Amino acid sequence: MNNSAVRNGDGKLHEAGCGVWDVPDASDVEFIIDAGFGDEAIAGYLAHARPVYDTLNRVLAQLSGVLLLAMTSGKSDLALDHDVYRIALERLSEAHERQRALKAPASAARHHAVLADIVVRLEAAAKDMDALSAILGRDAREAHMRKIIIKLHGAQRLLVATAQPDANITPVDFSHACCTCSVSGKTSSEKII
């Protein structure tokens, strides 16, 4: 492995937002058809929806994580880790663009609409988080925090509702978890979303 691909001149790992990590996406329509989604239009939609879903899922994790770290830092101003927060915002903006560009067949219109709703909720939560450190007074800050948590929970519930595990659209990557003895992922009945 060429260390220069992942480390800078000081030998430190590149920041997560650094351009060295960028590569094009790949889609996997055939895999999704094999998993039981016989309709090519749906399979094509899911193949392109997956990176959008994954990004939204990770933005949720990033925002939650940044919030969690701020809340447990012991600092009273709840200052966010701005590097991670900025990356989350960039990814969210990117996911928004890709979600808008997704072409959904009629049978996937609801799924597509829910993805849009997740984007809206995450954007609203992120905006509220940005304002957090400027809010004075413990009670006001706690009330503001509750609003953020409600929005993040709304997004998380929708992520669970739009999961399609057999198309690898899932909030959790189980591929190397303690449970991965892979009984069988295939099924013969055609799936719908």
Partner 1 sequence: MADYSIYVLEYCYVPKYHKSGVLYGAHNEGYVKLPYCYVLIRSKDHVALVDVGYNDKDYGKFLGDKFGVENWRSPKVVLAELGLTPEDVDTVFITHAHFDHFGNVEDFPNATFYIQRDEIEKWVWAMSLPERLRWMMIAVDPGDILRGVNLAAQGRLNVVEGSLEDVLPGVDVHLARDSHTFGSMWVTVRNDGKADSQDTWVLAGDLVYQFTNLKNDGSVVGVDTMYTPVGLAVGSQMNLLLATEEMMKQAGYDDTRVIPIHEEGLADRFPSRITKENLRISEICLADGTSSVVA
Is residue 152 involved in binding partner 1 (CB under 8 A)?
A: yes
| φ, ψ at 169 (rounded to 5°) | -105, 95
* Burial letters 142-154, b for 16+ CB under 10 A, else e: eebbeebeebbeb
Site residues (CB under 8 A) for partner 1, limited to 160-189: 160, 165, 170-185
Q: How many residues bind partner 1 (CB under 8 A)?
A: 52
Is residue 62 involved in binding partner 1 (CB under 8 A)?
A: yes
Cα separation, 148 vs 7, whole angstroms:
35
C-alpha distances out from residue 125 to 4, 134, 142, 182, 191, Å: 36, 15, 14, 37, 33
- Helical segments of the chain, H only: 29-34, 40-71, 82-101, 109-132, 138-161
Is residue 65 involved in binding partner 1 (CB under 8 A)?
A: yes
Binding mask 9-48 for partner 1 (x = CB under 8 A): -------xx---xxx-x-----------------------
Q: Which is nearer to partner 1, 43 or 167 (CB)?
A: 167
Q: Which is nearer to partner 1, 7 or 146 (CB)?
A: 146
Place of tokens 């895999």: 31
> In the complex, which residues of this chain contact partner 1 (CB under 8 A)?
16-17, 21-23, 25, 51, 54, 57-58, 60-62, 64-69, 71-72, 81, 84, 87-88, 91, 142, 145-146, 149, 152-153, 156, 159-160, 165, 170-185
